Amino acid sequence: MDPPSQVTPPVRGPRTVALVGIDGSGKTTQAHLLADELSALGLPASYRRNAGGRRWFGRLATALGRRDGEDLLGRRGMLVVESLLRWLAILRTLLRRAVTGEIAVMDRYAVCQYASLRAHGAGPAAERRARLAYRLFPKPDVTFLLAVDPAVAYDRVESRGYDHEEIGYLRAAAAAYRALPEYPDFVVIDANRTPAEVLASLRAELAAYLPDAPRRRRLTPRSNFRVLILALGSLTAGVSALGNRLAEVL
């Protein structure tokens, strides 16, 4: 009888799924639901948040008697901090994914930073710098754009009750996502509907990417070691690239 194979079985199905879209489009809600659903199907998946820290800075600013993060750091300063924090969050997500082998269901990704830069009125040079720093990160296997009427998103954010977005900003952000060069690659989901309906659409679209028979991904110690070395190499390269970019901006 042959000894058990040490070779990791070929992995099918997505490894990274990104949910992107304007504030209030339902990314956090759907990313949690989707991760739970994939896990229930026997495909280990985790919800991963790639936040830019704008909300956290908003709270800090209020505590310090300022209106919001931009009032505290300036528009440009807030964009630099957001770009840096999101970059670190994505790196952490990808490292964790590499080590655990789980599917990462990501709440926001690099494209959100490009859309944020555009919607906050940053120039093309700022986006070029961000793209240079973020080019380290691979394209997700599938990116869902939760497309929602900005007025609907505005009402959702208001009833959520813990933050506030200007309708003008939400409109600019919606337009920014549509104008991104990555837009043709997005799977656009009508997110104006109920959470259950949106989830059903995500499920239907994702089915094309899923293996026929769900199976657990196992990483051998050797492949774990390899991804760790790759990840550490990428980390060093990324930190120095970002450092150079930031030095140019500041």
Q: Choose between 27 and 97: whose C-beta lies nearer to ligand ATP.
A: 27
Q: Is 108 left (phi over 0), alpha (psi -120 to 50) or beta?
A: left
The C-alpha angle 16, 175, 78, rounded to 5 degrees, equals: 75
Among 8, 29, 46, 62, contact with ligand ATP (rule: CB under 6 A): 29
Token pair, residue 4, equals: 């058990």
Residues in Cβ contact with 136 at an 8 Å cutoff, skipping those fewer than 6 apart: 91, 234, 237, 238, 241
| Cβ at position 28, least distance to ligand ATP in Å | 3
201 part of the interface to ligand ATP, by CB under 6 A: no
C-alpha torsion angle, residues 31, 33, 34, 40 (rounded to 10): 140
**Collapsing DSSP states into helix, strand and coil, what is residue 103?**
strand
Q: Choose between 52 and 238: whose C-beta lies nearer to ligand ATP.
A: 52
Q: Which of 27-35, 62-70, 95-103, 237-245 is the region at the interface with Mg ion (rule: CB under 5 A)?
A: 27-35
Q: Choose between 23 and 68: whose C-beta lies nearer to ligand ATP.
A: 23
Q: Choose between 156 and 217: whose C-beta lies nearer to ligand ATP.
A: 156
Size of the site for ligand ATP (CB under 6 A): 13
190 part of the interface to ligand ATP, by CB under 6 A: no
Q: Choose between 28 and 39: whose C-beta lies nearer to Mg ion.
A: 28
Cα radius of gyration rounded to whole Å, the chain: 19
27 part of the interface to ligand ATP, by CB under 6 A: yes
Q: In what order do the strands lie in the sheet with 16-20?
A: 45-49, 103-107, 16-20, 142-147, 187-190
Binding site for ligand ATP (CB under 6 A): 21, 23-29, 156, 160, 194-195, 198
Binding site for Mg ion (CB under 5 A): 28
